[in-house]
Amino acid sequence: MTISGRCTIALAFFGAAALMPVAGTNAQSKDVTTMADGVLKVCLYEDIPPVAELGTDGSWTGWDVDFLSGFADPIGLKFEPVPFDYFDGIWRQPGEGVCDITGSGLTYTQERVEETPRAVWSDTYFTAERSFIVRAGEEDSLTGVGDLANKTVIMWPGSAGEVDLNRRIEKGGVSGVTVRYAEGPLSAIEMVRDGDAYAFGWDLTNTRFLVARYPGLAIAWAHPMMAADGSEKSETYSYVVLKADTGLIEALNAYIAENRGTYGWLQ
């Protein structure tokens, strides 16, 4: 599922200082045990800029990479990415013994918590809204779910955005929405540009990054996440941590409390 022509995150574009977490936590390495002694294995979806991205040279860049490597270093753990070329279900990997932590911009939902009984979800480290990417000049045509009737939209399978869209379609009684899946963000925006799809749904942080990097695109319909009961609130993002790792969730939550304001592109 890996696509070619990955975009490289330009740290200077957003300000490198905003991307680098501040090292600092009260935890010591002796207080934390992980799957492999001295190693923090982190499951990452390899194509989700600007959160995590695997370059063609094998190097990783992204906000989760910066944040979690900044967490690992002060407590004496070596940051070791575990790459995945799919997103759907990546949050289950710590509980299945694949890694200590999963990153990659995971929205906290009760459904996902129920799928991960052998893991625990961290405190919130970031919040965001939902949004869509459309062709430049068409942003005013998309202001609500009703505007997606009889149109094709691109989503990630199993993503919070897909859950949000399905809830809004059902509650709004909207018909004719065709959902297609892309293999990566570049593939998705190419489909929008070429007219093969009307819009690409992602969170507002990611769509801002893509629109800033690639011409001919615009952001439309920024909105909160819809819960199952129809209420709305901003998405909250958490990391998934293997419950059997002694002291890891406590150390991570302490780090988040100290460094939450340094994560990524401050909004």
**111 and 58, same structural domain?**
yes
Where residue 89 falls among pLDDT bands split at 50, 70, 90? very high
State the angle between helix axes of 248-259 and 63-72 in degrees (0 to 180), rounded to the nearest 10: 120
What's the chain's average pLDDT?
88
**172 and 252, same structural domain?**
no
In-domain check, residue 139: yes
**Which neighbouring-strand residues pair with 25?**
none
Where residue 13 falls among pLDDT bands split at 50, 70, 90? very low
**229 and 240, same structural domain?**
no
**205 and 189, same structural domain?**
yes
Strands annotated E in 90-234: 101-102, 119-121, 126-128, 130-135, 152-155, 178-181, 199-203, 217-223, 225-226, 232-233
Cβ neighbours, 10 Å, residue 93: 22
In-domain check, residue 257: yes
Q: Give the pLDDT mean for 53-72.
A: 96
Quote the percentage of the chain above a pLDDT of 70.
88
How far is residue 188 CA from its own chain's centroid? 16
Rounded CA-CA distance 204/220 in Å is: 9
**163 and 212, same structural domain?**
yes
Rounded CA-CA distance 100/118 in Å is: 11
Where residue 159 falls among pLDDT bands split at 50, 70, 90? confident
**215 and 156, same structural domain?**
yes
> What pLDDT does 205 receive?
87
What residue type is assigned to position 26 of the chain?
N
In-domain check, residue 5: no
Rounded CA-CA distance 6/259 in Å is: 29
Where residue 30 falls among pLDDT bands split at 50, 70, 90? low
* CA pseudo-torsion sign 196, 181, 265, 227: positive
**224 and 102, same structural domain?**
no
Q: Is 12 a residue whose pLDDT tops 90? A: no
**191 and 136, same structural domain?**
yes
Q: Is 257 a residue whose pLDDT tops 60? A: yes
Q: Which range, of 54-58, 62-66, 154-158, 189-193, averages the lowest pLDDT?
A: 154-158
In-domain check, residue 254: yes
In-domain check, residue 84: yes
**157 and 67, same structural domain?**
no
Strands annotated E in the chain: 39-45, 47-48, 52-54, 60-61, 78-84, 101-102, 119-121, 126-128, 130-135, 152-155, 178-181, 199-203, 217-223, 225-226, 232-233, 235-237, 240-242
DSSP H helices, 89-203, are: 110-114, 160-172, 185-193
Q: Give the pLDDT mean for 243-252.
A: 97
> What pLDDT does 185 receive?
87
Q: Is 142 left (phi over 0), alpha (psi -120 to 50) or beta?
A: beta
**191 and 162, same structural domain?**
yes
Q: Which two tokens stand for residue 176?
A: 């004719």
In-domain check, residue 178: yes
106, burial (CB in 10 Å: exposed 0-12, middle 13-18, buried 19+): buried
**246 and 179, same structural domain?**
no
Digit-coded pLDDT (tens) for 32-53: 999 999 999 999 999 888 999 9
pTM here?
A: 0.81
Helix (H) or strand (E) holding 118: none
Cβ neighbours, 10 Å, residue 123: 16
In-domain check, residue 267: no
Where residue 188 falls among pLDDT bands split at 50, 70, 90? very high
**36 and 122, same structural domain?**
yes
Q: How many domains does the chain have?
A: 2
In-domain check, residue 123: yes
SS3 57: coil
Q: Give the pLDDT mean for 113-132.
A: 96
CATH number at residue 71: 3.40.190.10
Domain that holds residue 204: 130-233
Alpha carbon distance, N-terminus to C-terminus of the chain: 31
